[in-house]
Amino acid sequence: MARPKKIQGLGDVVKTITDFVGIVPCQACLERQAKWNLQFPTKLSPRELTEQELNEWKQFQDEKPTLELSNKQRLFLCKIYSYVFQVPYYEPCINCSPKPYIVMIERMDFIYGTYEN
């Protein structure tokens, strides 16, 4: 029996499900699979924050609104997240669910929290 392919990200998860139910992927689906694998990997390995990034994240936390991020804050969040987690730069849709931004903030807060002593 063949060994199952390692799941690299969300794209592989979706493909596994669609394969199971018998959906044959088109070229656009395969491209989306690759894009989602890059944007949403199954395992993120963050690098250490620089002193400047620590200071910038502290400032972001101090200014962070409870309901809505400004455009400047969204761009900062996407930029620092891509640098720290070493993933391609990605800006979630601002008119859709806020969940991607919430996840980015939670992950960055966790990393930042490991520096507080």
Same domain, 61 and 83: yes
Residue-wise DSSP of 43-83: S--PPPPPHHHHHHHHHHHHH--SS---HHHHHHHHHHHHH
pTM (global) more than 0.85: no
Structural domain contains residue 17: yes
Same domain, 29 and 76: no
In total, how many domains does the chain have? 2
Same domain, 56 and 107: yes
Q: Which domain holds residue 90?
A: 51-113
Same domain, 61 and 100: yes
Structural domain contains residue 31: yes
Structural domain contains residue 109: yes
User: How much is the pLDDT for 3?
Assistant: 44
Q: What is the mean pLDDT of each run of 10 residues along the chain (117 residues)?
A: 61 85 89 82 78 91 78 92 87 84 87 75
Same domain, 20 and 62: no
The alpha carbon torsion through 32, 33, 36, 40 (nearest 10 deg) reads: 170
> Looking at residue 88, what DSSP letter applies?
-
